[in-house]
Structure 1
């Protein structure tokens, strides 16, 4: 028997699930997330191994989804010492790197910043010759001062020659152990946003390494020698080596895992997913089984970036959301008791009225002691519950692209708060094991690869260039750990750029495939 172990580390809980080779859920668990991550993961694995009573040698694959890289950026903790190099003089000197970045983060990341000659036009031709000597001097200057470098060149998604040359020179001077992030491999067109994404990627290398090592240590302590993968925010997996190179791609993988898990559990590939947690409800859209990606620049920890992110609409409503009552009026959240629900909610003997108390008080959920909320007016509870449902229905409406009703899937630990009928929903699904949809999403994920470049396309070369782009995406997928015989193109778009000359077209291709067994 071949088993898959899926772990998703959230801010409140660490969820785990064990699947057999037919993708049946053997056992699932929720444990509190710990500060050191490893302990929480260890406890989740321990419970699964004990309760599932299986031979740990039969666990062949282990997948981890984590919020640690996101948290490090938002909380400004444990970030690398980063050097920032922009290849763009004299054309790209008007706006300095980290422009618009919050001052507290700029103070942490902006002490080693350089702009050198080089860069390319949209068609790949040089703006200026590359200053190799300056890069060598920078490398000598940085020895012992930084452990990570972010390199960004103008229009490098079209021509990354200068970025690659800069990386080679820096490694010659500083050694191969220095971590170097190239913008051409991380962000899309748009210099400042791509540069920001690259800097953030360089800043969380060590956080990703500690998280990966913690996961492997927790597995090793239980005698599990599985092939390890990490979840990225497009709903697919990457190897440890790939994760340590592109840790920024783990950002927002939690909501994505929930979407993928919901798709699997409900057998829906095109639907709206409502993931109800303890503090927020995240609403996303599945398109052909994968999360719809955001089409706009995304802010992460106050930093504007343009790397891929799932299109998620979050509202301040969850199981622990606090209901504030002032005589006969009320407000819902956005504050929450979070993981303290079992201590602070009224139905558990606490003094705080939460969304869960409201649902129990109306007799819609059997949890805790309903008598502890019996003194509350039923009419008031009904009004509060109606407002809660309207919040969700409005959020669902906002993610739609048409007025047509769509299937809605309810998952997450707080999904029992919502009814099985919602405005705008053609049908509402509440699948079994939906409370650990995020862990299931991590366990079932495929490997993917994606490229985004600008090409000069005309009638004569169109098919040839699109085929070339597809092959590049397939190769990226294989490099990430996919079986080369089971990779297929799952999405492709090509948009003419009218503001650029020469039939310039932005081509974006995504491929996905099954895990390679070797």
Structure 2
């Protein structure tokens, strides 16, 4: 086809990797033809200066296919440069960053980069300040920004010579009226001039710490990103191309060069995404609308991801992690195994092993077929396939035993089938696409695959995915459903997302909504969170609007070192490493003993991390993530504070046992991090309560974030009292009246007096009440006017009452559960983590693994301030966990109920014989990939989960306990409670280790 007839409709994709630079030219109008419209392709080692490699790729392809620059409609580039700068801790590419937070006094106990590896924090974080500002979840002000505070911080930033500034405000992603981040940025630019200012709301969505982490990394790499993207664009201009230049981002869509220079973090994981989308393009439109597994086999590893029917990769759960930094922006869910063309093959104790060791890029030197001495997967593949002409086949054919070849093929097949099964979201077979240079080692048939496809040109799938990337936009917001229905609001937001996608460059007729989530917010009247993503094809009729390839940068930034060596291995950082490893993992489990002296347990960081894991599992889906509270306690430990735990068995009759915790929406908790509301409530309680200050503190509930609040309050300088190893729930119930003091009923009312504080100067004190239910109702009504998240303090009870009422040794139980999860991770035994947890809670007579499978359905609705819903889990056919179960929840999980084939999932139609477990017994859903608890707000389609049941404490199994905490209290009046097993009292850490530390 002549260049003239193409009429500017060719797309160029270039992937600049650490090893190779791949290129492809595609004519999309011919994508249905046998050659898939691929005009030319190129693969060569990546050059020292990336612009040379890009120019060489494009020039070579132009010559081979006689393409004129005027025929090119776009150039799209994928790169790993920016993520590599972070991973290698390269100080020549990472800038120092200042952080200005808007939201004081909230988040004061979790300063920026609190959860980063110390070396990376020391390298990047140069200054931080917490100032007035921030919004409540309903859009009202926590406080307005104060110009003089920002100006003062600008002076400090200027003195330190910092040129990159992050501004983050509480609930800024929903701030469309106050524009606090924008207004603060205007002040910063006025005071500091030519600096980079990153607004957190432009980088990520709700989740304060994670959004801030992403914004800081983005700010740190901005200068290098401008240099790199400018270097990418240089050859485009030199070659006479007048088309737009795009960079691929994490979700398989494109950013303009200018946008990528502002938001380089969005490109961090684009490599796997490009590979997946490129593979899908190669198999053609006959597979449109069908989910596909993409298996990318390289020299050392195999990366596997699921391409959903909407054409986008399945994303990871709520949080992702890069180089030890936790973030909340989209990241493809990709799993890797140690299988590649260079994998070493050998027998160990009679069993054939393939990988994970590999000769990697030295395959042409080390493999037998190339004259080397190392038997690799490529050698065995060539030996088994006469049609392959790789290296010198005579060096392996007839020289490797048939038994070994058969064992190699069986092991390779097993490894691939196992990872494919792990990544599937349903038991049905689905197409498997094999791409990558090592794809030859994979068999043509795999269990779980409806067909195995090895498309032509799969070696440049990354470049193809870049060339065919789409345009997208996301809206993540909180809206009031008081005057408009959730359905109407969703329709409006979908239209807004579509329009935003069109503005980003998509053609209007191709735009469609590809992701919709609607999440009602618990304890907040008429509020729901909506997350909508729209996507479409780039509108090439408007390409001139995006054709300016110029990215401006400060000439002082462009150094020979940073531009010409983007792929070098950086020298090790000389910053202080400090405590870089997770102490809960980096220990010898058999040797570790907690510190217990004179029957007081002194909590260490290792203890804390194990307790945190256990608290969320005992939260049975509710209670909110304890992550930010764990960080606060860890800071207290690192500051030298002492945290003590005592056994309820050791309490004296006259001791005064206080209680406290947080109440409100978990969604607010992830955004408006704690200030001093918990302590404010305690202080006001004891100013007004005539019975004297508490001598001990006990958590209201062990489940979720409140499970750690006793440690926070007890160790605070205002109180300095021990925490009792127990709580009032043994889990996380939704309401304050669902507690064991109410079950025992020895007092007419337990939870009055009560003090409630919002951390911003507003305090409610309720000295008396007619019932514990009324206390709950008053606090819930107060919540909406106090920011939907408060700290509470309860008047103390006696030591004698605590011994009778408390669910005993639940901090010890959390510790034991967390220890087993940490052990399973370290020993690579996550497959058996559920069984290990059951052993930790008392063995087979106390708990049971109820189910293993994948979430295939989630429904939620808001009623009376609580989230009601159910999650459907589908098991794997041919195992003891085949079929489906449903788990209804009211903030927390209520039951696990087996569903019969063809049966409707309707509440009220369940039968007792189908109930696997029901409250007050505990039902926990655990991530099968890492052993972490999954809260009900985090349930989503496709998650691999383990479901465990634990018999409730005997405190709950009396008739009154079952009435208050059993099925009737959750509206399941047609079902009756039958204990899962026999309760076994948790073994106290204090009893076991006293004097043995």
TM-score (norm 1): 0.94
Alignment partner, residue 138 of structure 1? 153
Offset from partner CA, 1:128-151 (integer Å, 9 cap, x none): 332321112222332371222222
Q: 2:209 aligns with which of 172, 175, 192?
A: 192
Contact kept? 1:252, 1:309, Cα under 8 Å: yes
Q: Which of 15, 27, 40 is the matching residue for 2:40? A: 27
Displacement of 1:216 in angstroms is: 1.0
Is the 1:83–1:112 Cα contact (8 Å) retained in structure 2? Answer: yes
Gap change, CA 1:273 and 1:199, over 3 Å in 2:
same
Does the CA-based 8 Å contact 1:12-1:338 persist in structure 2? no
Match of 1:152 among 168, 173, 177: 168
SS in 1 for 2:126: coil
Q: Secondary structure at the match of 1:409?
A: strand
Equivalent residue, structure 2, for 1:96: 111
Instruction: Report matched runs for 1:103-502 at 5 Å.
Output: 103-143=118-158, 145-159=161-175, 161-175=179-193, 177-267=194-284, 268-269=287-288, 270-287=291-308, 288-326=310-348, 328-363=350-385, 365-374=388-397, 375-458=399-482, 460-484=484-508, 486-498=510-522, 500-502=523-525
Shift of 1:291: 1.0
Q: What CA distance in whole angstroms lies between the structure 2 residues aligned with 1:148 and 1:483?
A: 35
After TM superposition, the structure 1 stretch with the greater mean CA deviation from structure 2, 109-118 or 143-152, is 143-152
Is the Cα–Cα contact under 8 Å of residues 352 and 411 in structure 2 kept in the other structure? no
Matched residue, 2:710: none
Instruction: Give the drift of 1:222.
Output: 2.7
Offset of residue 348 of structure 1: 1.1
Deviation per CA, 1:431-463, whole angstroms, max 9, x where unpaired?
221221111111111111111122222473434
C-alpha distance in structure 2 between counterparts of 1:116 and 1:136, whole Å: 11
Higher relative contact order (CA 8 A, sep 6+): 1
Deviates more, 1:388-397 or 1:488-497: 488-497
Measured after TM superposition, the shift of residue 325 of structure 1 is 4.8
Q: For the residues of structure 2 that align with 1:508 and 1:327, how far apart are their CA atoms? A: 52
Answer with 1 or 2: which has the greater Rg: 2
Structure with the largest fraction of strand: 1
- Rate the CA distance shift 1:173–1:8 in 2: closer, same or farther, 3 A: same
Aligned: 1:46 with 2:64 = no
Rounded Cα–Cα distance in structure 2 between residues aligned with 1:473 and 1:137: 38
Give yes or no for contact 1:91–1:127 (8 Å, CA) kept in 2: no
Write the deviation string for residues 200-247 of structure 1: whole angstroms up to 9, x where unpaired.
111121232222112211223333332111101111111112111211
Q: 2-side partners of 1:329 and 1:444: how far apart?
A: 44
- Residue 280 of structure 1: CA displacement? 1.7
Give CA-to-partner distance per residue, 1:169-217, whole Å, 9 cap, x none: 1111122x42222221222221111111111111121232222112211
Q: Name the stretch that deviates more: 296-305 or 429-438.
A: 429-438
> Counterparts of 1:167 and 1:351 in 2: how far apart (Å)?
61
Q: Is the 8 A contact 1:6 1:17 kept in 2?
A: yes
In the alignment, structure 1 residue 510 sits paired with structure 2 residue 533: yes
- Measured after TM superposition, the shift of residue 54 of structure 1 is 1.5
**Partner Cα distance (2:346, 2:88) in 1:** 28
- Single out whichever of 320-329 and 259-268 deviates more from structure 2: 320-329
Deviations 1:317-376 (A, max 9, x none): 122223355584453332333333222222111222222122112226331112223433
Q: Over aligned residue pairs, what C-alpha RMSD do you find?
A: 2.0
**Alpha-carbon deviations, 1:53-91, whole Å to 9, x = none?**
221222221000111111111111211221122222101
Q: Deviations over 1:365-398 (max 9, x none)?
A: 3311122234332312321232122111111111
Partners of 1:92 and 1:154 within 8 A in 2 = no
User: 1:91 aligns to what SS in structure 2?
Assistant: coil
1:105 shift after superposition: 0.5
1:73 aligns with 2:86: yes
**Using a 3 Å threshold, how does the CA distance of structure 1 residues 226 and 343 change in structure 2: closer, same or farther?**
farther
Shift of 1:490: 2.4
Deviation at 1:263, TM superposition (A): 1.4
SS of match in other structure, 1:469: helix
**Offset at residue 416 of structure 1 (A):** 2.0
Secondary structure of 1:437's counterpart equals helix
Contact 1:262 1:273 in 2 (8 A): yes
Distance 1:436 1:347, change over 3 A: same
Count of aligned residue pairs for this structure pair: 516
3-state secondary structure, aligned to 1:111: strand
* Aligned partner (choices 75, 79, 85) of residue 62 of structure 1: 75
Gaps of 5+ in 1: none
Distance apart, 1:425 and its partner CA: 0.6
State the secondary structure of the residue aligned to 1:204.
helix
TM-score normalised by L of structure 2: 0.50
Q: Secondary structure at the match of 1:482?
A: coil
CA displacement at 1:32 relative to structure 2: 0.9
Give unmatched runs, 5+ long, in structure 2: 1-5, 32-36, 545-997
Q: Distance in 2 between matches of 1:218 and 1:336?
A: 36
Match of 1:14 in 2: 21
